[in-house]
Chain A
Amino acid sequence: MTFHKKHLPRTSLMDVLWEIQRKKRHIGRDDMSKIAQQFNMSRMELEGVITFYHFFHRRDCGKYTIYLNSGIISRFSGRKPVKKAFEDILGIETGNVTEDGMFGLLETPCIGLSDQEPACLINFKPFTNLTPEKVADIISSIKKGARLSDICDKPKSIIYYTPSKDRTVFFKPYTTFSALSQLKDLHPEELIEIVKKSKLAGRGGAFFPTGLKWQFCRHNVADQKYIICNADEGEPGTFKDRVLMEEHPELLIEGMIFAAYAVGAAKGAIYLRAEYMYLKEPLENLLSTYRQNGFLGSDIAAKIPFDFDIYIHMGAGAYVCGEETALINSMEGKRGEPSTKEFFPVQKGFLGKPTVVNNVETLCAVPRILEMGVDTWLQIGTDKTPGTKILSVSGDCPNKGIYEIEWGMKFNDFLKLTGVEKPKIVQFSGPSGDCLSITPDEGKTLRSSQRKSRDYLTDQEYDRVISGEDITCGGSVMIFNESRNILQIIKSFSDFFVAESCGICVPCRTGNFLLNKKLEKLLHGHGEKKDLEDIKAWSEIIRTTSRCGLGQMSNNSLLQAIEKFPEEFDRALSDNTDFNKAFHLDEAVAEYDNIINELTSDYE
């Protein structure tokens, strides 16, 4: 044993794990022992980190690891035949690896390609708009030795809608570096004032005022501060950050440079979700360009010259790591558990230092605001939420893709744009967001059979407005039409939260598991009225006692769905009895019957 060997910093643990995972398709015992030693940690602690992230595997997951999206959008887009095609061609069921170790077929929650589903990742290369035929082609090309990078799809950036040219913020041409010239005229405090004046609020879902966040961080004195871009985009149905990083990565980098200048941070990181691994290289190349041009590195030209550089930290499959404190733990090479909320990241963040965590879209907005001037920006959108918002639209509508809308757009106008026929449910901000019902209120509108597509103006929800004053959308908009069953959708959301709970607190880890069982009971038609009362009461307990937003918001849609689709829940429920309808004696004794039958046939 060598005692003087220097241990590696924990912050590089996930990079090392990724290296092994990529090279060997699993992280085995021997490697674990070595890594544990390098990082001066116990093997079991390392095991705890590895098993937290579902893209790290303790067992071989195939030379070609295929991840199919298990989410509801993929399911409604025709995943079933695609999945079956994979299973038939490879001769394995999902969740397994072929005998020769060539292919592993696994599932994962939303991969950020909801406008191009069914889709999958093979060794983290994207393949979109799959059909059984396409699956057959892909597999046979791989078997013939084709390179994945040659045959994979480049995910399309479908930008379906932007406002008129003078009111578009994000998706219009940008000259790289142009906004950065303003650094020379602005004092950090002045920059913060502009951002405050712009009323820019966090686009990651919490809508915290960005200028205020930066100010807090600036005023916390420390020898080191950090800027982290949250590119973990895990909310099912959303892909706006992906498209932003594909179309305008320069805005993101410049936004981070401004943030660093404002708060006095010398280091920055982009926490990129593993599902977007294919964006890493282009981003890194662009970072080099910025370095070469003196906009990253030391002594960056500004009114007060400063040092700043950015690196990319890869996530490894955990939705909860989008929560900022979990994200910081993950970057520190730990399990991605949210912290206790005693401190905000601007007080004690990455490595205990003041840290700003901002969403991709938030950061991208900053150079745009500076470019157009804050007064022009304030002309766009609503009073409370100026500017535009990027929505990721998917589901049962012909016009899927990115919509850059002006805040304040009427919900009804938005729906028309999507071209949806006979809509029923519009799910805003993902499973933890808002469930909007498009079912006509009695007497107010035409019955659905009489309803002509696209012309339904009188419902209450239609008059709602997408803005900070009403429907504050994080980014995901999933549209479901009349043929969809609300219970099925809600159950799929529940599956997601059960799989993604970090396990720290019992209301979220087990409460959601138990709720999921209840929903299953309802889906099977075994539910009674009292089950619905339980569901409501349990949801409330989970909401009020969970540690982080994942648990607290996990049943938003469920509760809204119960309220907005009472008939559908009623239909699934029968009157209360003294007997549990989910208990079936014949099912409970089936295993015994099998054993006895097997034994008696053995004797014969």
Chain B
Amino acid sequence: MNNRINLTIDGKTIQTEAGKNLVDVAKENGIYIPTLCYFRELNPLATCRICTVKLNGRHTTGCTIKVADGMDIEVNTPELLDNRKAIIEMLYAEGNHFCPSCEKSGNCDMQNLGYDMGITVTRYPHVFSDKIVDFNPKRMIMESNRCILCKRCVEEVKTKDGKDVFSFVQRGVKTRVHIDYEQEEKLSESEALHAMNLCPVGAILVKGMIHEQPFGERKYDLLGKNILPKVTSVNNNLHKKENEKFIVATTSLAGCFGCHMSLLDIDTDLLDIIEIAEFNKSPLTDIKKFSKRCHIGLIEGGCANSENVHVLEEFRKKCDILVAFGECAIMGGIPAMRNFVPLKECLEEAYLNGVTTEIGAHIIPGHEDIPKLLNNVYPCNEVVKIDYYIPGCPPNAQHIWKVVKSILLGEEFSITHDEFKYD
């Protein structure tokens, strides 16, 4: 027993065996160090950087630390917690993660870390880089949009004769994982499934094999803790006289109105809301123009055309607080999938060549009264400042009203894990 050692994690003294992996040691002692790429103790990959901790005052990855006597380790300092959150946000900004239409949603490790950390929006602008979806392999689909380059598949999936199936190509921001078709054919069905399950996100798919659990029963629907988004500086922004009702405006930009439908889902609770709030410009009231300054504006959808931009800018000017609700408002959502297709092709597909266009269609409408399409679909916060975000596609009605009410009343609130969803 002479390899027993002592170390401290966040000030807590822990006894364990020398040489064990820090992530595992921490876990055994009830301290959770989140990871994405870590899946084996031997030769950890240390690509994702999420487990970054401080060892004797210096930053390093937890998964590469073999514990030794006297180590002083910090895991959950505010700085380290924010670093982790920042990395997940950066992964969201760099990839094209449309959770509402993703096969892995609900079973995705990265999405779950997003929930755990209460991420409502990324602090970084979305890169929207064009990444391919490769359907060519015999059995698999490589969805590069979702790949976080954790390298698990590269290191782990080999053919029987020892060749790589997945490889990193290019470098820097252009780095991608590609599949070697010839080697992929050699994999057995179960090896292919193993690759899919190994991927922490939904980048590797096996054709015809989709995760089958319904909503509410997926891996991470069942696990998880409550989320505590922060309400900050509310009252600085809000210009309300006493006795006055809260004035609310809502709009749907490039969205599907699903978020507005969800607004109505609170049923009779709406009566409570009417007690403290009145609606101004909104599809719910059919008031088309602002007739007064509002305390809060709810925005559904991102900006796809010039009119969206005008409306959003007007909302920014007329409302004390702006809330983006729904994935489309937060990151562009499904409409932003067109950001990878040249605008001309989009128009031709819609008006000339699409399956639903009439034979002989030859006009792409253009008129000064028709709003102009933007080169890309923009998340709202890339056009104006947004104060709060409510994720979901659509967000759950309880979630929306809980947030809105708490913002207006300046109260802290928590969201349950099953209310907080990106899909």
A residues whose Cβ falls under 8 Å from a Cβ of B: 40-45, 47-48, 51-52, 318, 335, 340-342, 498-507, 509-511, 513-514, 517, 534, 538, 541, 544-547, 577-580, 583, 585, 587-593, 595-596, 599-600
Contacts and interface: CB of A to CB of B under 8 A. Distances in A.
Contact of A51 (B46, B163, B169, B374): B169
Nearest to B183: A42
Question: Which of A41, A47, A502, A545 is the most central at the interface, judged by chain B CB atoms within 10 Å of its CB?
Answer: A545
A76 B309 CA distance: 41
Interface string B110-136: 000000000000011101000000000
B176 to A, nearest CB: 9
- 7 residue pairs, one from A and one from B, having the closest CB atoms: A503-B175, A44-B180, A596-B366, A510-B94, A48-B167, A340-B46, A42-B180
A595 B344 contact: yes
Contact of A340 (B44, B90, B364): B44
A500 to B, nearest CB: 7
Contacts, number: 182
A514 B92 CA distance: 13
B373 A589 contact: yes
Contacts of A340: 43-46, 61, 64
B274 interface: no
B383 A509 contact: no
A580 B66 CA distance: 46
A455 B178 CA distance: 59
Contact of B172 (A509, A517, A547, A585): A509
Contacts of A545: 49, 52, 59, 83, 86-87
B50 to A, nearest CB: 9
B321 to A, nearest CB: 11
Contacts of A42: 159, 163-165, 167, 180, 182-183
B24 to A, nearest CB: 15
Contacts of A502: 171-172, 175
A335 B168 contact: yes
A44 B45 contact: no
B404 interface: no
A547 B50 CA distance: 11
B12 interface: no
Given A507-B87, A590-B375, A498 B172 contact: yes
Given A340-B64, A514-B124, A592-B375, A506 B91 contact: yes
B49 A578 contact: no
A51 B169 CA distance: 6
B148 A599 contact: no
A595 B364 CA distance: 10
B382 A506 contact: no
B164 A44 contact: yes
Contacts of B52: 544-545
Interface string B159-192: 1001111111111111100111011000000000
B48 A506 contact: yes
B174 A503 contact: yes
Question: Which of B127, B169, B174, B384 is the most central at the interface, judged by chain A CB atoms within 10 Å of its CB?
Answer: B169
A588 B48 contact: no
Contact of A547 (B46, B313, B376): B46
Contact of B47 (A500, A505, A580): A505
A514 B93 contact: yes
A501 B125 CA distance: 20
B347 interface: yes
A341 B60 contact: yes
Nearest to A53: B171
Nearest to A552: B59
B374 A579 contact: no
A600 B366 contact: yes
A507 B366 CA distance: 43
B93 A510 contact: yes
A544 B86 CA distance: 12
B163 A41 contact: yes
Given A47-B178, A506-B87, A583 B378 contact: yes
B130 to A, nearest CB: 14
Given A42-B167, A44-B167, A502-B171, A507 B343 contact: no
A432 to B, nearest CB: 16
A579 B385 contact: yes
16 contacts: A42-B180, A45-B167, A48-B169, A501-B171, A503-B170, A503-B172, A504-B151, A510-B93, A514-B125, A545-B83, A545-B87, A583-B383, A589-B372, A596-B366, A599-B364, A600-B366
A47 B176 CA distance: 11
B414 interface: no
B383 A579 contact: yes
B375 A591 contact: yes
Contacts of B293: none
A42 B184 CA distance: 10
Interface in B357-415: 364, 366, 372-376, 378, 381-385
Contact of B168 (A40, A48, A513, A585): A48
Given A45-B163, A340-B44, A498-B173, A588 B384 contact: no
A534 B90 CA distance: 13
A589 B374 contact: yes
B219 interface: no
A170 B47 CA distance: 41
A585 B375 CA distance: 10
A544 B64 contact: no
Contacts of A44: 164, 166-167, 169, 178-180, 183
Nearest to A506: B90
A47 B375 CA distance: 33
B149 interface: yes
A507 B87 CA distance: 7
Contacts of B364: 595-596, 599
Nearest to B52: A545
B416 interface: no
A517 B382 CA distance: 13
A499 to B, nearest CB: 6
